Amino acid sequence: MPLTDAAIRAAKPGPSPFKISDGGGLHLLVQTGGTKLWRLAYRFAGKQKTLAMGVYPTIALAKAREGREKAKRLLADGIDPAAQKRRDKIAAKVSADATFRSIALEYIADRRHALTPLYADQILRRLEADIFPALGNRPIADIDAPELLETLRKVEKRGALEQAKRLRQTCGQIFRYAVVTSRAKHDPSAALKGALKPKGRQRHHKPMPRHDLPGFLRTIDDYYGEPRTGLALRLIVLTMVRTTELRAGRWEEFENLDGDEPLWRIPAERMKARFEHLVPLSRQAVAALNELRAMPGAKAEGFLFPSPSKQGCMSNNCMLYALYRLGYHGRATIHGFRGVASTLLNEAGFDDDWIEKQLAHDERDETRAAYNAAEYLAGRRSMLQWWADWLEQIKVTGRIVVLAREVAA
């Protein structure tokens, strides 16, 4: 006869444990101390087995019956309910241990071979600043779209719209990694497409007006701040490299600094396009490097611009803040110097391919990229020396005259 709640409550403990049945193998085991335990008796693979289903009244009668029906469905599919319960318990523990932080760190470590060290560290810093405080200790499988949106809204509120967008993309990559590694069921970031504020009209890196160049060049020669920062500004203008490529530069990347053809060989893992970049050095660039080498604390190996920071080198905004201190806030950006150089070198008649290669613009064809690196090196060396000499000239004269010239290919 099926059990009732009244019958269960009325069951009193005896001198030894006893069972009261609900049917279908489901029964209540009444212990001598009064504890009442749900059990399900069943047969699997020819053996009699018992499945523990919890304690009454924590597990009510109706819930116990649901468990019995679930067990029957598993048995019909050839699955042992006790074995499935153990698997579910392990999965729940794994899910609880699989926090967003632990999965994010695992994902970044797994991707480091495909990322530059600086970019990998940048991703981690963004997560540590804006995502981990709210979601880091949460089981990744429990995080839903509204919770992720609430976290990203805090980034939006401080005006960092592009940062919020990039964080959504990064979180999406982490969630998808969790899905394919069986730590999550879905990617909640996918539901946020279109939910974040648009960043509005794209603002390009502002180039310095050419009439400001002579005064700027004189200013950085007399830079009153940290001497290494002033030299970094000088080298950015002379080499046309990106900020990240310069600030993370290492002495072992330089060749023949005291010879006729000095060269900076930037490894592929530090380049945006993932190809090694060769930078021929002008006499003026070598002179700036020699000033760096002569500074206290300079080493034959290690960073050109060492710093006690976590990265070990100059921060990403160091040169930009130097520009601000020199009075160029809103008037120019560090990256904008590349645009200035490109425009002026084109006006001077230099080969487009030389200029594009010197700017390390993305070359999709790996074979062609390697060929061009060697093919254009001599031309780029003469171009950069012309550029350095021209900068010296306008710094002294204060007059900007770009004479169109023919350059042999």
Cα angle vertex 99, ends 93, 103, to 5°? 110
Residue 24 has pLDDT above 60, yes or no: yes
Domain boundaries 210-397, corresponding CATH code: 1.10.443.10
Quote the pLDDT of residue 210: 81
Q: Is 371 a catalytic residue?
A: yes
- The contacts of residue 306 (CB under 8 Å, 6+ apart) are 297, 299, 312, 313
Catalytic option among 272, 293, 331, 395? 272
Residue 116 has pLDDT above 90, yes or no: no
Quote the pLDDT of residue 328: 79
pTM of the model: 0.54
Cα angle vertex 173, ends 167, 178, to 5°? 125
Average pLDDT score, the chain = 85
187-214 residue pLDDT tens: 999 999 888 887 654 444 567 778 888 8
Burial 145-182, CB ≥16 within 10 A → b, else e: eeebbebbeebeeeebeebbbebbebbbbbbbbbeeee
Ramachandran angles phi, psi of 279, nearest 5°: -120, 105
370-386 residue pLDDT tens: 455 556 899 999 999 99
Q: Is 242 a catalytic residue?
A: yes
Ramachandran angles phi, psi of 351, nearest 5°: -60, 130
Quote the pLDDT of residue 152: 94
- The contacts of residue 72 (CB under 8 Å, 6+ apart) are 24
Q: Is 335 a catalytic residue?
A: yes
Q: Which of 392, 115, 97 is nearest to 238 (CA)?
A: 392
Catalytic option among 19, 185, 361, 368? 361
Quote the pLDDT of residue 71: 93
Angle between helices 117-130 and 100-111 (to 10 degrees): 170
Q: Which fold has domain 5-95?
A: Double Stranded RNA Binding Domain (3.30.160)
Give the mean model confidence (pLDDT) for residues 253-271. Answer: 89
Residue 284 has pLDDT above 90, yes or no: yes
Highest mean pLDDT, choosing among 168-172, 218-222, 241-245: 168-172
Ramachandran angles phi, psi of 397, nearest 5°: -85, -25
Quote the pLDDT of residue 408: 36
Band (pLDDT 50/70/90 cuts) for residue 367 is very low
* Helix residue ranges per DSSP H, 240-278: 243-247
Using a 10 angstrom Cβ sphere, with 0-12 exposed, 13-18 middle and 19 or more buried, the burial of residue 348 is: middle
CA 62 to chain centre: 49
The residue extents of the domains of the chain are: 5-95, 100-192, 210-397
Quote the pLDDT of residue 311: 75
Residue 28 has pLDDT above 90, yes or no: yes
Quote the pLDDT of residue 407: 38
Band (pLDDT 50/70/90 cuts) for residue 362 is low
Residue 406 has pLDDT above 50, yes or no: no
Band (pLDDT 50/70/90 cuts) for residue 61 is very high
Sheet holding 277-280, edge to edge: 254-255, 263-266, 277-280
CA distances from 103 to 79, 119, 145, 151, 173 (A): 31, 18, 17, 18, 11
Residue 409 has pLDDT above 90, yes or no: no
Q: Is 380 a catalytic residue?
A: no
Give the mean model confidence (pLDDT) for residues 56-64. Answer: 93
Catalytic option among 68, 247, 338, 381? 338
Domain boundaries 100-192, corresponding CATH code: 1.10.150.130
DSSP three-state, residue 25: coil
- The contacts of residue 102 (CB under 8 Å, 6+ apart) are none
Catalytic option among 43, 125, 371, 405? 371
127-176 residue pLDDT tens: 998 999 999 989 998 999 999 999 999 988 888 888 889 899 999 999 99
Residue 91 has pLDDT above 90, yes or no: no
Band (pLDDT 50/70/90 cuts) for residue 239 is very high
Residue 306 has pLDDT above 90, yes or no: no
Quote the pLDDT of residue 317: 83
Give the mean model confidence (pLDDT) for residues 285-304. Answer: 85
| DSSP conformation letters of 194-239 | TTSPP--SPPPPPPPPGGGHHHHHHHHHT--S-HHHHHHHHHHHHH
Residue 31 has pLDDT above 80, yes or no: yes
